[in-house]
């Protein structure tokens, strides 16, 4: 994930219905009760959040199938809606945790396939997609001619595609788009270099830890799709080799044994940009991406140490107390993967108060909603 995805999205650009500070300082106190009572209450709370956030994400979809970043036009998008596919994909990954929303996901995928760049240029490989601005009429589209990345947009779409197939059993839909899926996988790999790492896009030659862990996960999904749906072992082997390359690149190029942390980026000239744990974005959350993408096992020592170090430096994230205005639900999803139910419960209580019960004010947006669902879905 490139570090300019949230550029110009700070409080000065919040819509009028967003208060300056909606961050609660602590979760609501718990009443006394048995352990089973607490578990039942937490389960009911999680189910309620899943249902309500699924309804909110589904409500964002336009007739075309597009899913914008937010429910209203935003000032920093020239008072238009903007579809940033990367954000939408996390929303859909969450949405697939709620029954009955597969048609919404399929409609978006139809929209996405129809807007692929089919001819490679110096700025964008074939199979990539640009961000789309949509006018206030919710119908008139205009391509921006640019995107934040070509590697992560593609990889996260493949995440959605696999999850859709697994959750619905609709393999016919995937089979019908085999050629386009190959294009998308090609776009994901178009900037892969000899060290195994991908540049964010052809015009932004930086190799991000976030992006490359996402590429690894996208390749894992392409292995599964190739084997389980296309019955193409040759293609699966090719993607598996790319997976090995990317993993080796992350380990050999970005991991620092002396720092016990990953560099969050490697520049075109080979310089490593090491993370400052005290700085929230992009430094600290990047260290968690190898956990939720499957590079690291949550039970492993490195994952545990990285997660502990993150919490030592940003101990209030689950109460929305940190230097970054965004909730960062993907951290809660990582916490759920790590089995840290206490922090997940605190986070869910806080976002319920600040956002879910409050009309979803900015800076809540589609990715936050989807990652909150992913966190709530892990029992």
Give CA separation, 131 vs 59, 72, 142, 369, in Å: 20, 17, 9, 20
User: What is the rounded distance in angstroms from the CA atom of residue 370 to the CA atom of residue 329?
Assistant: 8
Enter the pTM of the model.
Answer: 0.91
- The set of residues, in sequence order, having a beta carbon less than 8 Å from that of 103 and lying 6+ positions away, is none
The predicted pLDDT at position 216 comes to 98
The predicted pLDDT at position 41 comes to 60
Give CA separation, 232 vs 150, 152, 156, 180, 186, in Å: 25, 24, 22, 16, 16
Residue spans per domain, the chain: 26-60+316-379, 65-190, 191-294
Over the chain (379 residues), what is each successive 10-residue block's mean pLDDT?
39 34 31 46 86 98 98 92 98 98 98 98 97 97 97 98 98 98 98 98 98 98 98 98 98 98 98 97 97 98 98 98 97 98 97 97 98 95
- Cβ atoms of 243 and 220 within 8 Å: the answer is yes
User: What is the rounded distance in angstroms from the CA atom of residue 373 to the CA atom of residue 12?
Assistant: 27
156: tokens are: 């996260």
User: What is the rounded distance in angstroms from the CA atom of residue 246 to the CA atom of residue 36?
Assistant: 44
Render pLDDT for 110-154 as a digit per residue (tens, 0 to 9). 999 999 999 999 999 999 999 999 999 999 999 999 999 999 999
Give CA separation, 124 vs 67, 82, 127, 154, in Å: 22, 19, 8, 12
Torsions phi, psi for 16 (to 5 deg): -60, -25
Average per-residue pLDDT for the chain: 91
User: DSSP class of residue 150?
Assistant: S
């Amino acid at each position: 994930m490139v570090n300019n995805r949230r550029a110009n999205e700070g409080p000065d650009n919040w819509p009028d219905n967003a208060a300056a500070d909606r961050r609660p300082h602590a979760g609501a106190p718990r009443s006394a009760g048995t352990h089973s009572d607490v578990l039942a209450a937490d389960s009911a709370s999680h189910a309620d959040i899943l249902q309500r956030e699924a309804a909110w994400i589904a409500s964002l979809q336009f007739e075309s199938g597009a899913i914008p970043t937010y429910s209203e036009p935003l000032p920093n998008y020239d008072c238009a809606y903007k579809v940033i596919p990367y954000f939408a994909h996390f929303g859909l990954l969450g949405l697939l945790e709620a029954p009955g929303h597969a048609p919404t996901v399929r409609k978006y995928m139809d929209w996405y396939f129809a807007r692929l760049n089919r001819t490679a240029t110096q700025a964008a490989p074939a199979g990539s997609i640009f961000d789309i601005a949509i006018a206030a009429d919710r119908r008139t589209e205009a391509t921006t001619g640019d995107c934040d990345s070509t590697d992560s947009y593609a990889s996260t779409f493949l995440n959605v595609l696999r999850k859709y197939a697994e959750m619905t059993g609709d393999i016919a839909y995937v089979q019908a788009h085999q050629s386009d899926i190959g294009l998308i996988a090609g776009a994901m790999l178009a900037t892969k270099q000899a060290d195994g790492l991908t540049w964010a896009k052809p015009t932004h030659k930086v190799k991000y830890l976030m992006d490359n862990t996402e590429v690894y996960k996208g390749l894992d999904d392409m292995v599964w799709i190739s084997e389980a749906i296309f019955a193409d072992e040759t293609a699966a082997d090719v993607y598996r080799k790319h997976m090995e390359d990317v993993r080796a690149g992350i380990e050999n190029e970005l991991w620092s044994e002396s720092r016990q942390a990953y560099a969050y980026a490697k520049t075109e000239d080979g310089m490593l940009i090491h993370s400052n744990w005290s700085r929230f974005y992009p430094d600290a959350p990047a260290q968690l991406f190898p956990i939720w993408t499957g590079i690291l096992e949550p039970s492993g020592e490195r994952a545990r140490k990285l997660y502990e170090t993150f919490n030592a430096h940003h101990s209030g994230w689950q109460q929305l107390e940190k230097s970054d205005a965004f909730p960062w639900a993907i951290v809660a999803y990582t916490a759920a993967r790590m089995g840290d139910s206490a922090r997940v419960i605190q986070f869910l209580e806080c976002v319920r108060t600040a956002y879910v019960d409050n009309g979803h004010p900015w800076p809540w947006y589609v990715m936050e909603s989807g990652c909150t669902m992913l966190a709530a879905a892990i029992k």
